[in-house]
Amino acid sequence: MEKIRYIDGPSGRLAVKMDLPPGFDETRRWPVIIIMHGVMAHKNVQPMPFLARKLAKSGFVCVRFDFNAQGESEGDLLKNTVPSEIDDAEAMYTFVQSLPYAGNISLLGHSQGGVVAAMLAGRLEEKGTPPHSVGLASPGVSLRDYALEGHFLGVRCDPVNPPEAVRVWWYRFGRDYIKTAQTLPIEAESAKYKGPVCIVQGSADRIIPVEDVENYLGVFRDCRYTRIEGANHLFSWHWNRLVKIFADFFKN
C-alpha cells in the first residue's frame, strides 16, 4: 500500500511517497526507513522503488521523496546543492518524527543520497536526535573529487571558474553545486554519527570506485560492509540481494 503527499521543505514543497507494510495500523509503532535517491534521479527511479516496496513487505514503513528541483518536488535546479539536499532530508526526518506511528527511524541512501544520509546522520547526532541506523548503497563519496576535477559523468568544465551550469544529458549542475561540492566535509560530518552503518558496494561500479568506498569505511565506529561481485552502480540484477542485506541489517 502506498500513500503520496507533499510536505514543506526549505526550497519548496517536497513530494513524498510512503510504502506501508502489510497489516499497517496507525495505532501502533512501526520502524521507519527514509530512502534517499542519487543525483540525476528521483524517488521512482530504481533501485529506490524496489527497495521501498520490498522493505515495506518486511515490516517497515518506507518513506521515499524527491530532493528539491527533482522529480515532483519544487525548486530551482541551478540552486540545488548537496547541502540543500541535506536540509531537505532533515525536513523529511522532522516530518517522520511527527508521525504518531513512527518508531525507530533509519536512513537509507543510494549514491549521492548516501552522502546526504551519512552527513545528515552526523548532524542529527550533534543535535541529540540521531537515526537508529544508516544504510548506504554505493555512497557517492567521490563527488568532491569529481567537482575538484571539473568532471561530471564524462562532461568536463573549469573547476576553478565553473560556468553557470554544466549540462549532462537532460540534467544541469549549477555553479553553486560545483563550488559547494569542492569543499564538502563528507568524512568529517559522517564520522560524527555513532550508530550502526551498513555499506553495500558493487565491484563493477564505474561511477563510484570501489577503493573510494572502502577508504570511507573507517570513518564510522560501527560499520559492516558487503561488496557484491559484478554489481554496477544501480545494482542491476542484484536488487534481491541488496534488499536482503539491508532488511537483515535494519531488523537486527
61-65: strand order across its sheet: 2-9, 12-19, 61-65, 30-36, 102-110, 134-137, 196-202, 222-228
User: Residue 49: which domain range?
Assistant: 2-141+189-251
Establish if 64 belongs to a structural domain.
yes
What is the model's pLDDT at position 153? Answer: 84
Please say whether the beta carbons of 141 and 117 come within 8 A: no
pTM > 0.95: yes
Establish if 62 belongs to a structural domain.
yes
CATH of residue 10: 3.40.50.1820
CA angle in degrees (0–180, nearest 5) for 27-21-114: 110
What is the model's pLDDT at position 2? Answer: 64
Establish if 179 belongs to a structural domain.
no
Per residue of the chain (252 residues), give pLDDT as tens. 566 799 999 999 999 999 999 999 999 999 999 999 999 999 999 999 999 999 999 999 999 999 999 999 999 999 999 999 999 999 999 999 999 999 999 999 999 999 999 999 999 999 999 999 999 999 999 999 999 999 988 899 999 999 999 999 989 999 999 999 999 999 999 999 999 999 999 999 999 999 999 999 999 999 999 999 999 999 999 999 999 999 999 998
Establish if 69 belongs to a structural domain.
yes
Number of domains in the chain: 1
